[in-house]
Amino acid sequence: MEIQTQQVDAIEVVTVQGDIDSKTAPAFQEALLPFYASNDDLVLNMSQVTFMSSAGLRVLLSVYRQASQASTRLVLVGLSEELQDTMSATGFLEHFETYTTLDEGIAAIKQKA
Amino acid sequence: MQPLRFSFSDLIAGYVTYFDRAKACFGLQTSHGHDYDVYLTNNTYGQIVRNLGWPWHTANLGEMLSSGQYLYVYGIYYPQGDDYRFEAKSFVFPGTTPDTYNHEEPDWWINQIQAIADHYMHWQFDYPNQPIDYANYRTILHLAGGKKGDFLQETDTISRLVYGLSSAYLLTGKDYFLDAAEKGTEYLRRHMRFYDADEDLIYWYHGIQVMGKREQKLLTSEFGDDHDSIPAYEQIYALAGPIQTFRATGDPRILHDAEKTIELFDKFYIDREQGGYFSHLDPITLDPRADSLGNNRARKNWNSVGDHAPAYLINLWLATGEQKYADFLEYTFDTIVRHFPDYENSPFVQERFYEDWSHDTTWGWQQNRAVVGHNLKIAWNLMRMHSLKPKEDYVALARKIAELMPSVGSDQQRGGWYDVVERLLDEGEEIHRFVWHDRKAWWQQEQAILAYLILHGVLKDGSYQKHAREAASFYNAFQLDHDDGGVYFNVLANGLPYLMGNERLKGSHSMSGYHSMELCYLAAVYTNLLITKQPMDLHFRPRPDANRVLRVQPDILPPGSVRLESVTIDGQAYQNFDAEGLSVTLPESDTPLRVKVRLVPMPVMG
């Protein structure tokens, strides 16, 4: 798993590549920690995630909760059909704000900013 | 110190030793043998204990102050000479004669569970005015049942209410209680359950935050004791309501959820090297030894080791008869017997441990303190287990607890049981210090009642009967809220309700109808079937897809102590049942069946 961070139009974007499983989930969470503290809205680009285990789902839940507590927005983009199925099966896909493309995600944050 | 020279009011609980009509005075001896002269005044009045929903019943003091009568008298101490004179203001009598206790009537606890369950149905769902909808469930309920505007739905408090409603159905056969329990179980499954496809097991969210039609799922606990972790306690209590519902309906989906949650315990919480179950997991790695857990890292406690049994595991065994659950129970109780006693240091068990079972006396609020009710809960459940797999160790520890607790955990002056006390006495101290207060919580009373009821019911020991009667008398005299329904969270040492802060509430993180209704269910079973030897009806409503062998044993009771006398299905007599095995072979059906069984106590125990 690799994680890249960048700013697009002053919006933080985190792009994840590879598998998020029980081995990589702690690093995934670690990489997202700075964004909780900074109170910045965040786009999480999942378009290059090839597999996400339950451990990854738990990280997403944790991130989502932190974002809610900080009153910041967390937007997921690029969820594959398989990822959507995984999240849907556990019953929390509908509670995330999701968009198909990175541009749509950024636009959504800018629009409501 | 100079003698106290002011008046003050207080309660005395005791047994009448004499009554002098001419002097309007009677003698009262407390449970621990202190004698008082109590003076009546022109304004003294009394009542006979009443159940929820019952009218006031005035006591005839002149007739009822007979020798041996147990009673509570609230009065005022006035300084007089070198002593005090105690003048009575009001009485509560637990029965009308020295040998009668109203709470031992066959339907006392059954009527009480119906009243409590009806209140929670009204408070949470506005039933019967509105359909039962758990979207309207709220954790916080005011003293009179009103909702406070919170939006947190906690998994384990919903589960606890479901437990109470299922128990109410088992005793009363009122369909709406089971309808509500099934809806609650389905709500938990749809909103609170996390199926981990990688591990093929289930864990339960802490709860959900409801925001209009949106909900935020909370995987980790929101509470200070357990923050940012997955505590075993919450997983254990998530199963409590569904499994009690499973007893009534046989819904195979509930069994599946329980099996997958138990796999969570056996894969991640268990300590295979040093035994027992860890108390917390890291939410990402599911590791009990993760540094992120802070003072919950690699810890074991009463909840993680012992609470499986009363919360769901005994009921799961009752419903299935599966040996693997009996084995799990045995493992749990063997672990308790091995590690919890600490009698060379304290009359109370040790409740918190490090990974190697060395004692943790530094954790959070507990430090080196005892929860009185946990000691009693151990005694109660050891006696249940003893009837499943008899072991001298189980009875010995239960007896030890039962004999130690009254002097260190109960109020032998006023009746009732205390909350949290220091495990050790400091130099010069004679009473274990109360950590926060000397109030009496409803659930601690429950543990005392059930412990001494089953001890007496199984071992036939008069001293246990005395403690059971005293504990149940206090609870019924002071813990019931006759104005707004349900039970008070706490009463003061003198029995008056304490109505401040969280203790004012009828619904909270701590209270949601579980302990009060668990008490009704099991007190009815122990009283009727083991002590007063009265027949008892139980109700079940197995679904079409339920196992066709319905097990109807009401609790783990001594083998041969109860027999199944008769069965009706949908109101018609039915003969295909095993009277000694306490099971009914159900006919196939496309619809749920209404099964009513009559259990009768056997005159000679097996």
* Nearest CA distance, B362 vs chain A (angstrom): 29
Residue of B198, B204, B228, B281 to mutate when probing chain A, most A C-beta within 10 A: B198
In this structure, how many other beta carbons lie within 10 angstroms of the beta carbon of residue A36?
18
Six token digits for residue B82: 């070198």
What is the spatial distance between Cα A40 and Cα B34, in angstroms, rounded to a whole number? 68
Whether the predicted pLDDT of A89 surpasses 80: no
* B204-233: burial string, b at 16+ Cβ within 10 Å, e else: bbbbbbbeeeebbbbbbbeeebbebbbbbb
Determine contact, residues B277/B297, Cβ cutoff 8 Å. Answer: no
Alpha helices in B389-441 (DSSP H): 392-409
Percent of chain B having pLDDT more than 90?
A: 92
Q: What share of chain A is helix, strand, coil (3-state, %, to 5)?
A: 45, 30, 20
Inter-chain contact A54–B198, Cβ cutoff 8 Å?
A: yes
Contact B141, B509 (CB under 8 A): no
Q: Which residues pair with B70 in a beta bridge?
A: B15
User: Cβ separation of A55 and B284 shorter than 8 Å?
Assistant: yes
Q: How confident is the model at residue B216 (pLDDT cuts 50, 70, 90)?
A: confident
Q: Of B33-37, B110-114, B183-187, B284-288, which range is least confident?
A: B284-288
Does the beta-carbon distance from B191 to A89 stay under 8 Å? no
Helix axes B323-339, B392-409, angle to 10 degrees: 50
Please report the domains of chain B, with CATH numbers, ordered by start residue. Answer: 8-100 (2.40.50.140), 104-531 (1.50.10.10), 536-601 (no CATH)
All domains of chain A, ordered by start, with CATH? Answer: 2-112 (3.30.750.24)
Chain B residues close to A90, C-beta within 8 Å: 194-195
- Tens-place pLDDT, residues B163-204: 999 999 999 999 999 999 999 999 999 999 998 888 899 999
Question: How many beta carbons lie within 10 A of that of residue B157, not counting itself?
Answer: 25
A71/chain B closest Cα distance in angstroms: 13
**Cα–Cα distance for residue pair A15/B113, rounded to 1 Å:** 56
- Number of Cβ within 10 Å of residue A38's Cβ equals 12
pLDDT of B60 over the 50 cut: yes
Share of chain B above pLDDT 70, in %: 99
Phi, psi of B492 (to 5 degrees): -65, 170
* Closest Cβ opposite residue A90 in set B195, B214, B218: B195
B566 by Cβ neighbours in 10 Å (0-12 / 13-18 / 19+) ranks as middle
- From CA A49, how far away is CA A52, in angstroms rounded? 7
Contact B159, B242 (CB under 8 A): yes
CA distance A30 to A27: 5
CA separation (Å) from B577 to B169, B558, B563, B569? 21, 20, 11, 11
Chain CA centroid to CA B521, Å: 10
Per-residue model confidence (pLDDT) at position B385: 98
Whether B447 shows a pLDDT value over 70: the answer reads yes
Residue B159: is its pLDDT beyond 90?
yes
Q: What is the DSSP letter of B224?
A: G
pLDDT tens figures, A19-71: 999 899 999 988 888 877 777 889 999 999 999 988 898 888 888 878 877 78
Distance, in Å, from the CA atom of A15 to the CA atom of A78, rounded to the nearest integer, reads 10
Q: Determine the Cα–Cα distance for residues B105 and B86; give it in Å rounded to an integer.
A: 33
- DSSP E strand stretches across B272-322: 280-281, 299-301
Q: Which residues of A touch B191 (CB under 8 A)?
A: 91
CA A21 to chain B, closest CA, distance in angstroms equals: 9
A95/B195 CB distance under 8 A: no
Residues A65, B216: C-beta atoms closer than 8 Å: yes
The helix (H) or strand (E) run that includes residue B202 is strand B201-204
pLDDT tens digit string along B538-592?
999 999 999 999 999 999 999 999 999 999 999 999 999 999 999 999 999 999 9
Least CA distance to B229: which residue of chain A? A62
In sequence order, the 6+-apart residues with CB closer than 8 A to the CB of B368 are B361, B422, B423, B424
Phi, psi of B414 (to 5 degrees): -115, -10
| B442-459 vs B372-388: helix crossing angle, rounded to 10 | 30
Query: Searching chain A, which residue's CA lies closest to the CA of residue B215?
Result: A95
Q: How many CA atoms lie within 13 A of A76 on its CB side?
A: 21
Mean pLDDT for all residues in chain B: 96
Q: Which amino acid is at B79?
A: P
Instruction: Please give the residue of chain B at the shortest CA–CA distance from A67.
Output: B216
Assigned token pair, A87? 């999240």
Q: What is the pLDDT of residue A105?
A: 94
Hey, which residues does B583 pair with through a beta bridge? B551, B578
ipTM of the complex as predicted: 0.78
- Residue A17 β-bridge partners: A2, A48
Nearest Cα neighbor of B510 from B482, B488, B479 is B488
**Structure tokens belonging to residue B211:** 């925001």
- pLDDT of A87 reads 83
User: What is the secondary structure of B493-528 as a DSSP string?
Assistant: TTSPEE-SGGGG-SBSSS-SSHHHHHHHHHHHHIII
The chain B residues in contact with chain A (CB within 8 A) are 190-191, 193-199, 209, 214-220, 283-286
Contact (Cβ atoms closer than 8 angstroms) between residue B328 and residue B313: yes
Is A100's pLDDT higher than 60?
A: yes
A62–chain B Cβ distance below 8 A for any pair:
yes
B236 strand-pairing partners: none
Nearest in space to B279 (alpha carbons), one of B365, B345, B355, B183: B355
Residues B419-432: tens digit of each pLDDT:
999 999 999 999 99
**Beta carbons of A99 and A66 less than 8 angstroms apart:** no
pLDDT at B303: 96
Selecting from B196, B199, B217 the residue whose C-beta is nearest the C-beta of A95 gives B217
A90 touches chain B (CB under 8 A): yes
- Apex B399 CA angle, B396 and B400, nearest 5: 85
Separation of alpha carbons B233 and B367, rounded Å? 19
Tens of pLDDT, residue by residue over A42-54, are 999 999 999 998 8
Other CB atoms within 10 A of residue B9 CB = 13
CB contacts of A61 in chain B (<8 Å) are 217, 219, 283
The DSSP H or E segment spanning A47 is: strand A42-52
Q: What is the pLDDT of residues B321-365, one digit of tens each?
A: 999 999 999 999 999 999 999 999 999 999 999 999 999 999 999
**Interface contact flag, B216 A25, Cβ < 8 Å:** no
Residue B606 has a pLDDT of 41
